[in-house]
Each structure stands twice: as structure tokens, then as C-alpha cells.
Chain A
Amino acid sequence: MLKNLRAAAAILVFCFLTFYFLDFANILSAKFNIFARLQFIPALMSRNIVIIFCLIFCALLFGRIYCSFLCPLGIFQDIVIRCSKNAFSKKKIVYKKNNFLLRFSIVIICAAFFFFNFTIIIAFLDPYSVYGRIVLHLFKPVYLSANNILSFIFNHFGNYTFYQIKITMLSVFSFVVALFSFVIIGVLALKNGRLYCNSICPVGAVFGFINKYSIFKIQINGEKCANCGTCAKNCKTFSINSQEKKIDYSRCVNCFNCINSCPQKAIFFCANKNKNKNFPPLDANKRKFLLFGLSAIITAPVAAFAQTKEKLLKNRKIAISPPGSISAKRLLKHCTSCHLCVSKCPSKVLKPSFSEYGAGGILIPIMDFERGFCNFDCTICTEVCPNNALVKLTKEQKHSLQVGRVVLKPELCIVHTQNWNCGACSEHCPTQAVKMIPYKDGLTTPFIDADICVGCGGCEFICPVRPQRAIYVEGNEVHRQARAFDIEEKDDKEITDFGF
């Protein structure tokens, strides 16, 4: 019963979250990012006290249910484990020791990085972000291929419910990272169950710690138990020592599989009565380790400050951070690179960065005008961000937000080099920060007013000059307010003649 409840909830969360990432047609509204916002690290990054409080409160009450009910990477591993059930039942080892040192040191390092506003390690380890990247970089191309096959068939018969979408590699590095995490975590799950959650995952370690003190716990009734070991065989986390009839609560993820499997019905999920028996007191080694952890907290910022920005793109000296990020610096403090904004961007202007933000900003979303430009009225990235790394913007706020400023190189412009009409840049400029003004022989030439530029990149995207473009956007280190453009006087003069 409990297991079925867990499985049903988990499948619901998993499907919604996965589909939310895949959903290029925006069938689900932006509000469905609630499943992303409920995740622990995003809640922490967005300083969402309510959600953090609820998650911890639930954990204190019922234990580590985040890991079984909400965590998409955990549920993904459960699915892998479920699919490999046959292989799994043959497992020889049924109980493993807890790797306290590894787990604790990872938590300490992550905490240190968090307090010093440096997210890169968390970005690589946070289960939600890891899963987001897996969906975007691995599952989405498959989903789009299926869509393209369907659309090919439907379009052939004159039905345009489905339409073609070009599949592109957003970033080789992100793809490799996603592929590695997928393969490693997948194989670990096949062979070792929830090993990732109980050795690497910092969220798992935190909830594992809370789990020890939770009120409701899975418990073995020693009198009923026949030491058959079925529960241990069915345990995804190798945390049941059936010989001693003990459960390592720091690793138990409350999946309730053991309750269902017990032939004696000797396992229960109930309020804990013998509080102090289940976990040992801190020993001297652990104390030493705490000291080590503290020293890590002190040294981490040194590493953080040592990270300097590397050489950037050809034209652009300062990387352009997405709308709502306020500055690259602030973005790097809050973003864990789940790439939800990248997945949702309809204009394909967001992509994972490589070295543009410096080494500490690897994988963090960046604006790039190779495949598109930022739609003037679109605010979707700021609406979906669960970390609040992109602060929600209204259409009006975004209209006056300047993420970067236009720079023109007249010596490269077609109008000057060839004496031909062009104006592609001005055509795409929503504020006419690039305006065509009279030049010679009836030609018009671009003229820029960077103060009213919003940095959407329309001009850079469309400029036909290669290899270096004649117009581009230079990033603003800190986003600014664009000056409002002058509005032309309304022409109300009635036209009464044809003019010919």
C-alpha cells in the first residue's frame, strides 16, 4: 500500500518534470515549474524558505521521502532498478557499509561552496540539475526525432498538427557531461542500486542525516522476523542488515519495498519508539573529520577567488547573461545549470556556456546569437527558473532591460563595402537602436543609439557579413535600464487621394 502510493506519486512527479523539460510546444504552462521549484537545491538557491521548511519538516516527520517521491534522478534510478529486477535479484551482497567519510566531505564541500556563493560543485552534483541536463541533452533529441518522424508522416498526408524541429547539439561539453552522468548513474543503479544517492549526492547525505532523527521510520519487528533476508535482497540501498535486524537510516530512502516483500509481515512504517538505539554516537574519527571539513570551508573561497575569467568570444569581450540574471556574477551564485531555461527558450538564444563566464561558470546558460535572437516580448526563461537565478520579469520590465549594447563596425558593413542596400540589422531591431538613415544614392546606412538598445541580438543574428560580423552586442557586466526610445508623433492626417 505505502509502496504503491510512493510509486504512484513518484511516477507522477517524474512524468511531469520530464515532459516539462521535453515540451517544446509549450503544452504545459510555465506554472508547471512547481515540480522543479519543489526540488531541494533549487529551493535553497532561490532562498525559498517556505519550500525548504516544508521539505525539512516532512523529512523530520517521515524521513527521506524527498529521495523517493520527488527527486527525479532518484526516481530515474528506481526505474532502472525496476527494469533490471531479474539481474538485481541475483545479487550476492545484500548489506554494505556506509561510506560516511565520502558523504560527509561532499556535503561539507558543497556547503562551503554554497556559503561562498560558488555553485559549480553543486551544479555538478545536484540530482535535479543532473537529471535536467540528461533530459535536455539526451532525451530531448530522441523526443524531437520521434516528433520529426511523426510530422513527416502527418505532413505527407496534409496534416500539420506536428511540425519539423531542427535537432542541434547545444554544446558538446554539456552533452558529454550529461552522457557521462547518465551512463555512470545508470550503470551504478543497475549494479548497485541507489549508490549515487548514498555516496555522492549531497542532498541524499543531508536527508540521510535527517532521516536518522525522523519520527516515522521503517522498523523491523524482531519477534516476527525469521531472518530470511528477503527484505535485504529487495533493498535498493543495501541498508538492511537482516542478520542483526537493523536498518542504516542514513541510507534508507523510504521506498517501502522491504515492507511489501517481507513474507512474515514483520516490517512496519511507524513512529519511532526506541530513539537512541539506531545510530551510534560521534566517534573520535568523525570529530577529526568535522575539523577537516571546517578547514575546507575556509579554503574553498581561496579556490573561488582564484577563478578568473578566461578569454572570450571573438567580437564580444563580456559574455551576455540571460534576462533576469541581473549580472553574470549573481547568476553564478544561484544557477545550478539544470538547463530548464535553455530547453524552454523558443528563440534558441540560450545555450550552456563553456569558458565565457570563466572556469567557475561552466555549463551556466549564456545568450548566443548564432541560432536566434531574444524575442522582445518573451519572458519565458525568467518564468521557469526554479532557482530564481533568473528573476521573474514582466513584458514591460523586459522592454527596458538592457543585457548588452550594440556595437557597429561600419568598415565591415555591406552598405559601405559594396554600396548595396541591406538594413537586415535595423529590420530586426525592436527599439530601432539600429536605425537606417540616408546615406548616398538613395541608400540607407545603419546608425546606432546604444542607449535604447536592449541587447536582444537580432542585429548580430541576421548580419550577413562573415567571418566577423559588422554588428554585434557587447555584454553588460551588470544589466542596465535602457533609455526609453522617442515615440514618433502620431500621423492622423487623413489620406484622401490615391497619389497616382
Chain B
Amino acid sequence: MKNNMNRRGFLKGLAVAGAAFTLKMNGEMDVFAQTVTNPEQKNSVDLVAVMGGEPDAMFKRAIEEFGGIGKFVKSGQKVVVKPNIGWDKTPEFAANTNPILIKEIVRQCVAAGAKEVVVFDNTCDEWKRCYANSGIEAAAKAAGAKVIPANEESYYTKISLPKGKSLKDMKVHKAILDCDVWINVPILKNHGGSRMSISMKNLMGIIWNRRIFHVSNLQQCIADMCTYDKKPVLNIVDAYRVLKNNGPQGRSLEDAVLSKALFISQDMVAVDTAATKFFAQIREIPLSDVKYLAYGQDLKIGTMDIDNLNVKRIRM
């Protein structure tokens, strides 16, 4: 009896201390966040930017601002998590999305009651090698996802793009067509052709016939592709490591920069604008050179005017 009381007392003390600790942590963070939070829109955040943490910790923190993953993924839903697995490179090269981030996203989707979580990408290098060497296949599987192939045309179905200017139709992976919601998880990269590779560009991994993009105005095609009406519920930009030079593939570890950031928004154009501005601190890139942003705004996919959005900035 005496023993029992002691343990209870100890647990109580622990709980109180823990609660106090978290309160303190939150308080501190609020001090940072308050400076930019627009008081009128306090309940609906448009874009969350996090800096200074590990990939999974930053995501955990950021998604809280949106009210948790449960706001987007409902119990019993089929979910697709679409990382960038384009290249046969290990995570340190910053050519593919960080596997730790993918693991955490999948874990949370499963915890939110998703019926199944599917992960795939239409890769540029040989797909089996990309899936394995990026670390994403193992990480996603460990968290309970199903990692599926996207290597043959038979996995894709043609859909039309009535709003597209240059691109009128495209072949989309069936997993995207079949799912209830999908989450876009690009990595922030320099790109020799389209200038930046972020969330809009990452949609090229859900489609098959992308060679046509390059002969019908790549920048316009990227924007056209994003008019696809089944939009990702979340765009989570991995900027834990960013590829500064020689993107989108990189050729040496020196091309990657450890920048420890993460951006989340439902608006593809906004999050790409924010991420490009973040990237501009590392390497010069005028927003006007990333033409698909303006094209995307014209097509009403989203807004580049992030100053008028409710942006939450968090430092860890």
C-alpha cells in the first residue's frame, strides 16, 4: 500500500513536470510565431515554415499548426504519399525526399486510421535502384506503407486537362486516381531546366507521358499539369537538405546544403514561392525565372502573394 502510494505520487509529479515543460516549450515558440501571426486569421493557417529541427520533428511540429494530420486524413481512407524518388542516390545527395520525413508522414497517416498508405514515384533512373538506394522503400514499409511500382505505362490512365494551355491531357498513375487523398512530399532542389524543383514540379512523378513537356514549353506544362482537379491535400516541402548545384540530380555530396527547414501548405504555388525565396538565400534565383509560379497563379492554382497569407514561422 505504501509502495503503491509512492509510485502514484511519483507519476503525478512526473506528469506535472512534463506538462509544465511542454507549456514552457510552447510558450517560447509562440514568442517567435507571434510576430508574424495575423490576429484576424488566427484559426486558419495557410503556410507553416519550420526551421532548425530534424525532418520528423519539424513535420510533427508543423502539422500541429494545421490541427494534426487527422484534419486531412480520415479513418478508413486510402492515402497516397508521393515523395521525389527520381534518382539512384542516397539521402545525403539531396536528390530525393528525406526517408525519415516520409517515414513520419506514413506513420501519422496510419495512426490517423488510413485504410492503406501507398508510396510511389515515376523515377528517372532505374526504379528498383532508386527505391532501394533512396532509403524510401525501407522507411515507408517500416512505417506500414505499401510501396508500389510506377515503371510501366500500364499503371497509368489518361485524363483530360480542360484548363491546361499547352497540355490538354496526361496519363496519371492509377494509385492517385484510386485514392481518397494524396500528400505531395517534394524535396527543394535546384533544377537545370525548370530552374527549381519543388511541389508543382514533383507532380511529374505521378504521370507517365512527360517527355512531351519538354517539346511543348516545359514551364507552361508544369503549371498545366497542376490544374489537375485532384490536388494534394498537403504539400510538404522537405528542405532538410537542399540541392544547391547541379540539380535535379547533383553529382557530389558538396552539391547539397544542410538547411534544416520544412514548409507545408495546401497551396502549391504559395509553398513553392516560399521555398524559392528560402532557396534564394543559398543561391540566387529570381522568382520571375521560375516561370511556372506565375503561370500557375494565372491558372488560379494558387497565389504567389505569400505576404498576404497567414504564415506561421517556427524555429526549433
The proximity string for B residues 233-269 relative to A, scoring 1 for CB distances below 8 Å and 0 otherwise, is: 0000000000011101101111101011100000000
Q: Is A141 an interface residue (CB 8 A)?
A: no
A488 to B244 Cα, complex, angstroms: 10
> Which of A164, A421, A444 sits near B149, CB closer than 8 Å?
A164
Q: Are B254 and A489 in contact (CB under 8 A)?
A: yes
Residues of chain A within 8 A of B42, CB atoms compared: none
Q: Are B277 and A500 in contact (CB under 8 A)?
A: yes
Residues of chain A within 8 A of B124, CB atoms compared: 427-428, 462
A427 to B124 Cα, complex, angstroms: 9
> Which of A164, A436, A488, A500 sits near B193, CB closer than 8 Å?
A436
Stretch at the interface among B2-10, B13-21, B57-65, B125-133: B125-133
Residue among B218, B257, B311 with the most chain A CB within 10 A? B218
> Which of B149, B219, B253, B259 sits near A163, CB closer than 8 Å?
B149
Of all chain A residues, the one with the shortest Cβ separation from B263 is: A498
Of all chain B residues, the one with the shortest Cβ separation from A490 is: B254
A422 to B212 Cα, complex, angstroms: 11
If over half of A's interface residues share one DSSP class (helix, strand or loop), that class is named, otherwise mixed; here it is: loop
Please provide the chain B residues from 191 to 225 with a CB less than 8 Å away from any CB of chain A in the complex: 191-195, 211-212, 214-215, 217-219
Residues of chain B within 8 A of A497, CB atoms compared: 281
A489 to B252 Cα, complex, angstroms: 10
Stretch at the interface among A196-204, A226-234, A245-253, A370-378: A370-378
Q: Are B249 and A420 in contact (CB under 8 A)?
A: no
A428 to B280 Cα, complex, angstroms: 24
Given A160-B148, A164-B149, A375-B125, A499:B215 Cβ within 8 A: no
A464 to B213 Cα, complex, angstroms: 9
Residues of chain B within 8 A of A375, CB atoms compared: 88, 125-126, 129
Number of A-B pairs whose CB atoms are under 8 Å?
142
If over half of B's interface residues share one DSSP class (helix, strand or loop), that class is named, otherwise mixed; here it is: mixed
Q: Is B288 an interface residue (CB 8 A)?
A: yes
Q: Is A302 an interface residue (CB 8 A)?
A: no
Residues of chain A within 8 A of B253, CB atoms compared: 490
Q: Are A426 and B193 in contact (CB under 8 A)?
A: yes
Q: Are A488 and B245 in contact (CB under 8 A)?
A: yes
Q: Are B277 and A488 in contact (CB under 8 A)?
A: no
Interface size of A by CB at 8 A reads: 49
Given A163-B151, A378-B129, A498-B49, A422:B193 Cβ within 8 A: yes
Of all chain B residues, the one with the shortest Cβ separation from A436 is: B192
Residues of chain B within 8 A of A421, CB atoms compared: 193-195, 217-219, 291
The proximity string for A residues 459-478 relative to B, scoring 1 for CB distances below 8 Å and 0 otherwise, is: 00010110000000000000
Residues of chain B within 8 A of A500, CB atoms compared: 49, 273-274, 277-278, 306-307, 311
Q: Is B142 an interface residue (CB 8 A)?
A: no
Residues of chain B within 8 A of A496, CB atoms compared: 51
Given A164-B155, A427-B249, A444-B192, A488:B214 Cβ within 8 A: no
Residues of chain A within 8 A of B146, CB atoms compared: 158, 160
Please provide the chain B residues from 49 to 79 with a CB less than 8 Å away from any CB of chain A in the complex: 49, 51
Residues of chain A within 8 A of B246, CB atoms compared: 432, 435, 488
Q: Are A488 and B129 in contact (CB under 8 A)?
A: no
Residues of chain A within 8 A of B149, CB atoms compared: 160, 163-164
The proximity string for A residues 177-189 relative to B, scoring 1 for CB distances below 8 Å and 0 otherwise, is: 0000000000000
Q: Is B282 an interface residue (CB 8 A)?
A: yes
Q: Is A423 an interface residue (CB 8 A)?
A: yes
> Which of A165, A485, A498 sits near B313, CB closer than 8 Å?
A498
Question: 9 other contacts beyond A377-B88, A424-B211, with CB at 8 A cut-off?
Answer: A163-B152, A377-B129, A420-B217, A422-B214, A442-B288, A444-B193, A495-B257, A499-B277, A500-B274
A-B contact pairs, 19 of them (CB 8 A): A160-B147, A166-B153, A372-B126, A375-B88, A423-B194, A424-B193, A426-B193, A427-B249, A428-B249, A432-B246, A432-B251, A436-B193, A444-B195, A491-B254, A495-B261, A495-B282, A498-B261, A498-B278, A499-B279
- Residues of chain B whose beta carbon lies under 8 Å from any beta carbon of chain A: 49, 51, 88, 116, 124-126, 128-129, 133, 146-149, 151-155, 191-195, 211-212, 214-215, 217-219, 244-246, 248-249, 251-255, 257, 259-261, 273-274, 277-282, 286, 288-289, 291, 306-307, 311, 313
